[in-house]
Structure 1
């Protein structure tokens, strides 16, 4: 090979190597590249399981945020599950076998039911933003934070604003005022407007009354509080008897719909929407249901009236939409990244808006529709845990509901209701 041919070959090789080198470096730092994502030490894809009790439109919000997370973190794949009414039974089986999802919803039971399975999240970057009202309900004295609360339940009776204005009724702050309001509405409407509409055929609306009013009767007053006794098993159940009697008196006074034992939740929503009912002993989501029938409905939320003299109104509250992490997960770092993504202010705001509830983290915008003004108005009202979650054993919700039906049907009286509660309380405490 002569000298000139040799030089031409060397130049060609240099050009080729330069092109290859340029291709290897080309595009570095490009904004089109995927966002860096958490991965295993080997750099392989991580797959986590996520399960929630949430259903319907609210579940779609969670799933959309999950899709956004996977887009931004392509090395973490999420198996998202929302099994609906089967969720609780499924989780009981998983607890028994110690085989939990990596991330899961606690549906009001973070401490009492799932506490031993949950990782402490108090060290996470978002933990200091947990709202002061919800923090005691999702953490303990040692400082352990059990879950990310994306929103916070603040429940009390709801009322038809137009009905109360029409009959000159103020929002009641005490139970005596509540009864007086019912009497005024019944009398001035000549019975055309039912003071309280309840779908007793579904049973759970009856339980809601007991869950709401057990707290002002037995817990919230400093002069008449039996919380410690209910927790340690020393409670004198004769102190409970006033509650079923209060409920029975609503029926006797004509403050409940006459078809209370055959009416359903949907019937309550219809009556409320049409201005034929003043109060609903339901959570705020009831308003949304009624507005599907009457989009022009003006409705409000009120704290639970106090029962004991000298006490003040309260809200029943606690967890609503949450994520906790299984402490024995094989993918804790990926699970933390997933939960952290939901803790972004914009994502917390989306979840809270879907439930028309205040956000669980400070810094997230609140958009609860018509209810926003009421959450602002009552922002300083005490929020106490739902009675059935805090003070009686798991399994007693059905006892409250079914005995309430029997009470309205005259199958038992207030003493009988109380005796049945005491019996099941003692049985379930022993079993648990």
Structure 2
């Protein structure tokens, strides 16, 4: 399924570093009708949106909770939703794939029906596919689109004189040349489990989902499997990258923060990652450092390269929200051209909905070009029938890199999880 020009995972993606903070906005007393509670994984973009919303709505108080680790956030919100203590508005994940994804929460009746909102009527079919519950009701507003590609430290790359690879053979040669110059080609931090999926998603875009957009449906129909598809080639190539010295030493012992430090400091020339990760890389980068992105090749022909592009961030309203009217008003702001441009800029993404004022940079332009040229695919997990498939993939990749399992075992586990989730 291709993404139309209005569409924008992450990612999802995602930030790491376990920490939690709370901010209550204004501290003066106010009526209950003017108080909104909100939770998000990752503070920066959400806080910027909250501040802009409060400025446009004087007197409104927004009480926020931010959790910087995705897994902790998912667990905390799930617990709060079950116990009736969840905030009015919260960030979710599009489609399916984890316990805080739209379809999973929607199936459990935890989300407010937003089908009647003005912005909901203009959603494309692709956007609706990842923002609706199993009953077909719109329950989330899409805020950003993101992509998984080769993210480059421009200054570090220029210093080596190496060119960005556009084919698989060029990738392997690039790794060899980078190593000879004393730098890492691609930083990798598999200690943070969610990072394990990014290289496979980049490879399968060109090997599986680009050539065959119906692959996931064929799996659901019992006509295809991970083990008997080009997923095997993708995972074999993942190991080939490791064995060719493309990554830093001991990826399973390196977390997301250290991975982004390697990229930001120029000790690694690139990383196959969600584009929003650049925000973390900038924290350790010398002043003036810039970043760019190219699709990560998986074949011998540059024209066969697809880019995984998908809705990255979505927000929904608690079905038991204490202030549903104000919650819907906040989502209307997120859906507005102003809200879309603001959140995209702050998160290093592109807007999911039309936003004429948004100006794409060297990271975002390739995303929009891939969408325009029909060379984009969805993130695989957004079509998977349940979160167990992704969970199995994440943990199994770590075991694969430890040498405790092989590729057929990994894919067999994923097939089993897929079958049990159908």
When normalised by structure 2's length, the TM-score is: 0.75
Which of 360, 368, 371 is 2:363 aligned to?
371
Displacement after TM superposition at 1:228 (Å): 0.9
Aligned mates of 1:157, 1:99 — CA distance in 2: 40
Partner of 1:279: 270
Matched, 1:264 2:251: no
Q: Do the aligned partners of 1:48 and 1:331 also contact (CA within 8 Å) in 2?
A: yes
Q: Do the aligned partners of 1:183 and 1:255 also contact (CA within 8 Å) in 2?
A: no
Partner of 2:98: none
Aligned mates of 1:45, 1:417 — CA distance in 2: 51
Aligned mates of 1:212, 1:253 — CA distance in 2: 18
Q: Do the aligned partners of 2:210 and 2:376 also contact (CA within 8 Å) in 1?
A: no
Displacement after TM superposition at 1:280 (Å): 0.5
1:301/1:66 CA distance change after superposition, 3 Å: same
Aligned mates of 2:397, 2:170 — CA distance in 1: 23
Deviations 1:280-331 (A, max 9, x none): 01111232322222233232112343559784412231231x3323456575
Aligned mates of 1:79, 1:290 — CA distance in 2: 29
User: Is there any run of 5+ residues in structure 2 with no aligned partner, and where?
Assistant: 1-30, 96-100
Which of 215, 218, 234 is 1:229 aligned to?
218
Say which SS state the counterpart of residue 180 (structure 2) adopts: coil
1:261/1:367 CA distance change after superposition, 3 Å: same
Partner of 1:354: 346
1:200/1:344 CA distance change after superposition, 3 Å: closer
Displacement after TM superposition at 1:180 (Å): 1.8
Say which SS state the counterpart of residue 60 (structure 1) adopts: helix
Deviations 1:106-162 (A, max 9, x none): 233454223344444344333466588745533589974332223222332212334
Aligned mates of 2:136, 2:192 — CA distance in 1: 39
Aligned mates of 2:241, 2:219 — CA distance in 1: 26
Aligned-residue CA RMSD (Å): 3.5
Say which SS state the counterpart of residue 77 (structure 2) adopts: helix
Matched, 1:254 2:238: no
Deviates more, 1:113-122 or 1:51-60: 113-122
The 5-angstrom pairing of residues 182-193 of structure 1 reads: 182-187=172-177, 190-193=180-183
The 5-angstrom pairing of residues 323-402 of structure 1 reads: 323-327=315-319, 329=321, 331-367=323-359, 370-375=362-367, 377-381=369-373, 382-391=375-384, 393-402=386-395
Displacement after TM superposition at 1:367 (Å): 4.7
Q: Do the aligned partners of 2:168 and 2:300 also contact (CA within 8 Å) in 1?
A: no
Matched, 1:421 2:414: yes
The 5-angstrom pairing of residues 152-171 of structure 1 reads: 152-162=145-155, 166-171=160-165
Q: Do the aligned partners of 2:168 and 2:299 also contact (CA within 8 Å) in 1?
A: no
The 5-angstrom pairing of residues 75-154 of structure 1 reads: 78-85=62-69, 86-96=72-82, 101-109=87-95, 111-116=102-107, 117=109, 118-127=111-120, 134=127, 136-138=129-131, 144-154=137-147
Aligned residues: 377
Displacement after TM superposition at 1:334 (Å): 3.7
Aligned mates of 2:61, 2:267 — CA distance in 1: 50
Relative to its length, the structure with more strand (as a share) is 2
Displacement after TM superposition at 1:370 (Å): 4.7
Q: Do the aligned partners of 2:187 and 2:270 also contact (CA within 8 Å) in 1?
A: yes
Q: Do the aligned partners of 1:53 and 1:88 also contact (CA within 8 Å) in 2?
A: no
Q: Do the aligned partners of 2:311 and 2:352 also contact (CA within 8 Å) in 1?
A: no
Q: Do the aligned partners of 1:130 and 1:362 also contact (CA within 8 Å) in 2?
A: no
1:62/1:251 CA distance change after superposition, 3 Å: same
Q: Do the aligned partners of 1:149 and 1:360 also contact (CA within 8 Å) in 2?
A: yes
Deviations 1:50-90 (A, max 9, x none): 3332323223213313433551xx4x665444355443223
- The structure with the larger Rg is 1
Aligned mates of 2:193, 2:403 — CA distance in 1: 15
Partner of 1:207: 197
Aligned mates of 1:256, 1:188 — CA distance in 2: 10
Say which SS state the counterpart of residue 254 (structure 1) adopts: coil
Deviations 1:197-250 (A, max 9, x none): 21233343222222333343332213x852113334553333233232121111
Which of 48, 57, 66 is 2:44 aligned to?
57
Deviates more, 1:326-335 or 1:52-61: 326-335
Aligned mates of 1:260, 1:192 — CA distance in 2: 17
1:357/1:311 CA distance change after superposition, 3 Å: same
1:233/1:91 CA distance change after superposition, 3 Å: farther
Partner of 1:299: 291
Aligned mates of 1:102, 1:298 — CA distance in 2: 37
Which of 197, 204, 211 is 2:187 aligned to?
197
Partner of 1:22: none
When normalised by structure 1's length, the TM-score is: 0.73
1:398/1:142 CA distance change after superposition, 3 Å: closer
Q: Which has the higher contact order (CA 8 A, sep 6+)?
A: 2
